[in-house]
């Protein structure tokens, strides 16, 4: 378990390095096209400031764009008590708890570190899960905090946003910019770069989310099941999602990797590029570990 947490911290450094290379490369290319490397400096500095802002504000943004409403113990006593008991068991600080008014059964955890933890559940999840299953789902979300997955997620959220901002900036420069000293020679190149950037931005975001999300979900399943000593309870909750799961009303690809279950519309391509492992695989792994606890 401790090795997995250390691996997540190393992944954070690797992800940051990769994104710095991507952002630096985009900035360099912008400077080369417009024959002014002042543009490179401006683009990189703005992107880094934007990523830094996203890092500190991303958890609040993720809660807000998904419609989370913070609650206290009096608002949902059972939910609050389950979260309290899990944090006592794991030795973590009590996270802030939110409810999202959405019929889709789902949940997510966010924050920069365990002291800044946030846990959100939908009304749909509260409606279909019994106490055992709800505890199992929440143990999964607390595991994300325990394993520092939330740190990785917030960095991904901020840096993906920064890459998207640069690509949007370059696309606008493609159609409206006049910075090149050789516009006649580079006009076609501007257009090509702008179109390529517009296509690559969501692809880069998706690939990064896939890279950090699927193994993270398996790890959180295992950690959560270990916390409550009940892999069957979590498997039962995942089984319910197979029949009662549905896309969320508010869908945002930048926060999809945070959720317990894929909140986006399903289809052939969405399954292929899903940020979450197949439910059947998650259930099989949990049931395979049930006899080992």
For 138-172, write each residue's pLDDT tens digit: 999 999 999 888 777 767 766 776 777 777 776 67
* pLDDT tens-place string over residues 191-209: 576 567 656 765 776 676 6
Per-residue pLDDT at 57: 79
Is beta strand 96-100 parallel, antiparallel or unpaired with respect to 118-122? parallel
Residue 120, helix vs strand vs coil: strand
- Could you tell me the strand order of the sheet in which 118-122 lies? 68-70, 96-100, 118-122, 107-110
Q: What percentage of the chain reaches a pLDDT higher than 70?
A: 72
What pLDDT is recorded for position 3? Answer: 63
pLDDT in tens, 213-233: 777 888 899 899 999 999 999
Q: Quick check: 260 pLDDT over 60?
A: yes
Dihedral (CA of 47, 8, 70, 99) sign: positive
pLDDT at 4 over 70: no
pLDDT in tens, 80-91: 999 999 999 999
Torsion of the alpha carbons at 289, 240, 146 and 208, rounded to the nearest 10:
100
Q: Which residue has the higher pLDDT, 266 or 80?
A: 80
Look at strands 107-110 and 68-70 and give their pairing: unpaired
Taking 70 as the threshold, does the pLDDT of residue 266 lie above it?
no
Element (H, E) at 151: helix 149-176
Res 231: pLDDT: 92
Residue 107 β-bridge partners:
121
H-assigned helices in 34-148: 37-65, 77-90, 123-128, 131-146
How far apart, in whole angstroms, are the C-alpha atoms of residue 23 and residue 54? 15
Distance (Å, whole) CA 41 – CA 136: 48
Query: What is the Cα–Cα distance from 80 to 85, expressed in whole angstroms?
Result: 9
- Taking the C-alpha atoms of residue 119 and residue 236, their distance in angstroms, rounded to an integer, is 21
Name 270's Cβ contacts closer than 8 Å, sequence gap at least 6.
Answer: 262, 264
Separation between Cα atoms, residue 194 and residue 135, nearest integer Å:
48
Rounded Cα–Cα distance for residues 14 and 218 (Å) = 20
Higher-confidence residue of 200 and 73: namely 73
pLDDT confidence tier of residue 132, bands split at 50, 70 and 90: very high
| Res 126: pLDDT | 96
Which residues are marked as active site? 141
Question: Who has greater pLDDT, 73 or 289?
Answer: 73
Overall average pLDDT of the 242-265 stretch: 85
Distances 49 to 98, 141, 170, 209, 275 between C-alpha atoms, Å: 29, 29, 17, 21, 27
**pLDDT above 80 (res 247):** yes
Q: What is the average pLDDT across 251-262? A: 83
Q: Is 104 exposed, middle or buried (0-12, 13-18, 19+ CB in 10 A)?
A: buried
């Amino acid at each position: 378990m401790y090795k997995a947490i250390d691996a997540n911290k190393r992944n954070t450094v690797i992800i940051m390095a990769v994104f710095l290379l991507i952002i630096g490369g985009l900035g360099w290319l912008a400077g080369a096209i417009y024959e002014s490397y002042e543009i490179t400096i401006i683009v990189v500095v703005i992107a880094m400031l934007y990523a830094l802002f996203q890092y500190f504000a991303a958890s609040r943004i993720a809660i807000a764009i998904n419609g989370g409403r913070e609650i206290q113990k009096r608002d949902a006593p059972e939910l609050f008590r389950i979260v309290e008991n899990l944090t006592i068991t794991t030795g973590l600080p009590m996270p802030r708890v939110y409810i999202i008014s959405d019929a889709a059964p789902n949940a997510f955890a966010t924050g920069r570190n365990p002291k800044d933890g946030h846990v959100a559940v939908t009304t749909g999840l509260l409606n279909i899960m019994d106490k055992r299953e709800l505890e199992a789902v929440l143990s999964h979300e607390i595991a994300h905090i325990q394993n520092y997955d939330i740190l990785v997620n917030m960095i991904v959220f901020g840096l993906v946003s920064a890459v998207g901002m640069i690509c949007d900036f370059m696309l606008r420069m493609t159609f409206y910019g006049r910075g090149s000293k050789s516009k006649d020679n580079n006009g076609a190149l501007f257009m090509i770069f702008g179109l390529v950037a517009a296509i690559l931005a969501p692809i880069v975001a998706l690939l990064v989310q896939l890279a950090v999300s699927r193994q993270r979900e398996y790890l959180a399943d295992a950690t959560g099941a270990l916390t409550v000593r009940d892999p069957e309870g979590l498997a039962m909750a995942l089984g319910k999602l197979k029949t009662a799961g549905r896309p969320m009303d508010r869908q945002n690809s930048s926060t999809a990797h945070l959720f317990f279950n894929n909140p986006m519309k399903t289809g052939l391509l969405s399954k292929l590029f899903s940020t979450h492992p197949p439910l059947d695989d998650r259930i099989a792994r949990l049931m395979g570990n049930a006899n080992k606890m």
